[in-house]
Amino acid sequence: DKLFLPQDVVPAIPNIQNVMKIEACYTIGEVEVKFSVHSKTLYDIIKRYGIPKLKVGKFTYVPKSRIDEIFNS
């Protein structure tokens, strides 16, 4: 069974907060306002382009660089 692997075999999930800094991210609401995009459309774009999301409390953050690259091209 692969369900109960020893701790040294279980793949570690990287701490996304160390990779994505909140200062370099937009909240979902900020993206909707700045680029005049509907929330459903934004979530479709995030899924289509595989943009990483960071959930902190009630806010979801996405990297500014990836969002700007998509909407400013």
What are the pLDDT tens digits along the chain (73 aa)?
A: 556 655 555 455 556 566 678 899 999 999 999 999 999 999 999 999 999 999 988 999 999 999 999 998 7
Burial class from Cβ neighbours inside 10 Å (0-12, 13-18, 19+) for residue 62 reads buried
Assigned token pair, 18: 């160390």
pTM of the model: 0.72
CB 26 within 8 A of CB 62: yes
Q: Sign of the C-alpha dihedral, residues 58, 45, 51, 66?
A: negative
Q: How many residues does the chain have?
A: 73
Q: What is the pLDDT of residue 47?
A: 94
Task: Provide the pLDDT for residue 2.
Answer: 58
Cβ neighbours for 42, distance < 8 A, ≥ 6 positions apart = 28, 31, 32
| pLDDT attached to residue 5 | 56
